[in-house]
Copies of this chain bind each other. A is one copy, B any other.
Amino acid sequence: MIGNVDVSRLSLNQITTENWSLKEAVDGCVRHDIPAISVWRHKIAEIGLKESKHLIHSSGLGVSSVCRGGMFPAPTASERQARIDDNKRAIEETAELGSNVLVLVCGPAPNKDIQESRKWVREGIESIIPFAEQQGVKLGIEPLHPMFAADRSVITTLGEANALQASLGSTQVGVVVDVFHVWWDPFLYQEIEHAKGNIFGFHVSDWKVPLPDIFKGRSMMGEGIIDIPRIRKAVEKNGYHDFIEVEVINQEIWDTPGDETLKLMKNSFASYV
């Protein structure tokens, strides 16, 4: 179960240090020799894009992705258009920060017809592809665990994300594999093979038993039951060799001083990924 991943692939997904500003997170990464960061848009909004860009560029950090675009389903056409416009802003921010990948959390259904929302997701992504191409930003569909189907994403499995990717027929679109969301899936390894060449991100955390919470339910690698190295090796075998984001949404970790979290994260990464 013990991993042997190269620590130079470590990226801090900024939600792991939710109580830190972007400046604190960037400084923390530099201080702890963490080579990359994944930036969240609500943290960009706090200080503005220009200042965010300056912080990132002067730090020398890689930006593994920007979180997040998506949230396509909405009850009216004008609301859906507003979501699409917001996704274009997210694409611009991604390009400005020098990142190649915008992560798409596709959004929940506004009614009981989940299949209709899946169509809106497809239409939404389709409509932003030309702009993403123009900006040089890849769109990574991240399937979320089915326990988030009602409030975060109607795209719930890697198989579904792959089918969506295939139906869009664009190399601008791929998938993001997050072990917390996909570990349970009986078709996981087949679908990682199907995603070959289209994997745009790999996120790690762990599933502790019992789960401490639903939204804030993730734990540091090694504390749970996910066979992380096996999933990592599968995504590597299928073409993904880029940064690995540690994305831990957990109140106890948020309440821990950020420097302690980064130390713990580096150790967990080296030992269990």
Q: Which of A35-43, A77-85, A149-157 contacts B (4 or more CB under 8 A)?
A: A149-157
Pairwise interchain contact A150-B225, C-beta atoms closer than 8 A: yes
- Asked if A236 is at the interface (CB within 8 A of a chain B CB), the reply is no
- Asked if A131 is at the interface (CB within 8 A of a chain B CB), the reply is no
Q: Which residues of chain B are within 8 angstroms of A169 by Cβ–Cβ distance?
A: none
Pairwise interchain contact A225-B109, C-beta atoms closer than 8 A: yes
Q: Which residues of chain B are within 8 angstroms of A113 by Cβ–Cβ distance?
A: 227
Contacts A151-B209, A214-B211 hold; do A160 and B186 have CB atoms under 8 A apart?
yes
Q: Which residues of chain B are within 8 angstroms of A147 by Cβ–Cβ distance?
A: 145-147, 211, 214
Contacts A112-B226, A214-B214 hold; do A184 and B207 have CB atoms under 8 A apart?
no
Bound-state Cα–Cα, A128 to B184, Å = 26
Bound-state Cα–Cα, A184 to B118, Å = 11
CB neighbors of B among A187-203 (8 A): none
- Asked if A30 is at the interface (CB within 8 A of a chain B CB), the reply is no
CB neighbors of B among A110-148 (8 A): 112-115, 118, 145-147
Contacts A207-B150, A226-B112 hold; do A157 and B145 have CB atoms under 8 A apart?
no
Minimum CB–CB distance from A49 to chain B (whole Å) comes to 31
Q: Which residues of chain B are within 8 angstroms of A47 by Cβ–Cβ distance?
A: none
Bound-state Cα–Cα, A151 to B224, Å = 12
Instruction: Say whether chain A's binding surface is mostly helix, strand, loop, or mixed.
Output: loop
Bound-state Cα–Cα, A224 to B151, Å = 12
Contacts A1-B112, A226-B112 hold; do A186 and B211 have CB atoms under 8 A apart?
no
Bound-state Cα–Cα, A185 to B225, Å = 23
Pairwise interchain contact B112-A185, C-beta atoms closer than 8 A: no
Q: Which residues of chain B are within 8 angstroms of A112 by Cβ–Cβ distance?
A: 1, 225-227
Q: Which residues of chain B are within 8 angstroms of A118 by Cβ–Cβ distance?
A: 186
Binary interface encoding of chain A residues 163-192 relative to chain B, with 1 for a CB under 8 A from any of its CBs, else 0: 000000000000000000001111000000
Bound-state Cα–Cα, A224 to B39, Å = 33
CB-CB nearest 9 A-B residue pairs: A149-B184, A147-B147, A112-B227, A146-B184, A146-B146, A150-B209, A160-B186, A150-B225, A151-B209
Interface residues of A (CB under 8 A from B): 1, 108-109, 112-115, 118, 145-147, 149-151, 154, 156-157, 160, 183-186, 207, 209-211, 214, 224-227
Q: Known contacts A114-B227, A150-B211; can you find 11 more A-B pairs with CB under 8 A?
A: A109-B225, A112-B227, A114-B183, A115-B186, A145-B146, A146-B147, A147-B211, A156-B184, A156-B186, A210-B214, A211-B214
